[in-house]
Amino acid sequence: MKQLITFSALVLVSFSSCSQQSKTIVKAEDPKTINYTTEIVVPDLDIPWGMVFLPDESILITEKSGKLIHFKDGKKTSIEGLPEIYVRGQGGFLDIELHPDYKTNGWLYFSYASAQGEGNGGNTAIMRAKLKGNQLVENQLLYKASPNTKKGQHFGSRLEFDNDGYLYFSVGDRGNRDENPQDINRDNGKIYRINDDGSIPKDNPFIHKPNAKPAIYSYGHRNPQGMTKHPLTGKIWTHEHGPKGGDEINIIKKGKNYGWPKISYGINYSGTSFTDHTSLPNMEQPLFYWTPSIAPSGFAIVSSDKYPTWKGDLLVGSLKFQYLERLILKNNQVIKREKLLEGMGRVRSVIQAPDGYIYVGIENVGIVKIIPKQ
């Protein structure tokens, strides 16, 4: 059953546009300015990590615990034929994406933690498969990060196709910040780009570097759990978790170094410093960073006519503070922040669906639809 909820709280956050760092909350708006309601369209989910809408408007939802759920006509069905999923800490069944030509070829793509390969423990893997009834068929492993480790943190992982049909995916540093992110000979702490069949594009930036991982597209990342294609430019945007402070939004550029852990606006969780630098030569600056951290997960850029006043704005889930954040841009500068869905729960995923509406995956709630008021 669909559940309707009306919200009565809105908070705006303002700051100087030149700093690109969040400042103090300065005012609360009149509840009468709330311009949306919400509807729970898929109830009773634990950790809905990712979701996609199929051409028949049904939904495929990944549960971190290792389930793929097909929601159709008000009913949930568990899909069989998944690979063995390594569930540990932040690892499990992660993101899901459709091929841009899904209606013709039927390929769907997903990321998950896998124990397959070298070493004990697990690491992030990318697979594609087709859905036949309630079964995955023609499963093909496209990429498996190595080596495995028993550490439970920083698997990433989001998936996104660009306008040229390349598949991008993120893999976190797996808790090994001092070795993995800055070394292109090692997996982890990277954004990768592959062809839709798992082969490596001939113009990938490190394909001719001896011993480098040829799928790497950019490096120096910590734990990217948000990735989306900009609806106008076609560029891939990501956000990633910092430590204590320093969550970042980045526009991904070919072969670039995003600095982790050599530069950061964050500090250790203990309060001590691990770097003296927020910038260094040949390292990219974030478009925006959060201090304190919001623990971002899920990422969408609004382009739908359903939300005319939100067009071009960013939507980012906050795991830590349990809200959906709207970031208002002007000339690629964040000029205002707004809290949506505050207090509903930990926001894990957010997408703009083919019907033009925004859908949000909230832990221990389900899939929530944001409905603009007329």
The CATH code belonging to domain 79-294 is 2.120.10.30
- The gap between the terminal CA atoms of the chain, to the nearest Å, is 23
Element (H, E) at 27: strand 25-28
DSSP 276-331: S-S--TT-PPPSEEESS---EEEEEE---TT-TTTTT-EEEEETTTTEEEEEEEET
Residue-by-residue pLDDT tens, the chain, 374 positions: 333 333 333 344 433 333 355 433 323 334 445 689 999 999 999 999 999 999 999 999 999 999 999 999 999 999 999 999 999 999 999 999 999 999 999 999 999 999 999 899 999 999 999 999 999 999 999 999 999 999 999 999 999 999 999 999 999 999 999 999 999 999 999 999 999 999 999 999 999 999 999 999 999 999 999 999 999 999 999 999 999 999 999 999 999 999 999 999 999 999 999 999 999 999 999 999 999 999 999 999 999 999 999 999 999 999 999 999 999 999 999 999 999 999 999 999 999 999 999 999 999 999 999 999 87
Among 154, 221, 239, 241, the active-site one is: 154
Give span(s): CATH 2.120.10.30, the chain.
79-294
| Cα separation, 105 vs 343, whole angstroms | 40
Measured CA distances, 338 to 9, 318, 331 (Å): 11, 12, 18
Q: Is 241 a catalytic residue?
A: no
d(C-alpha 134, C-alpha 77), whole Å: 8
pTM for the full predicted model: 0.92
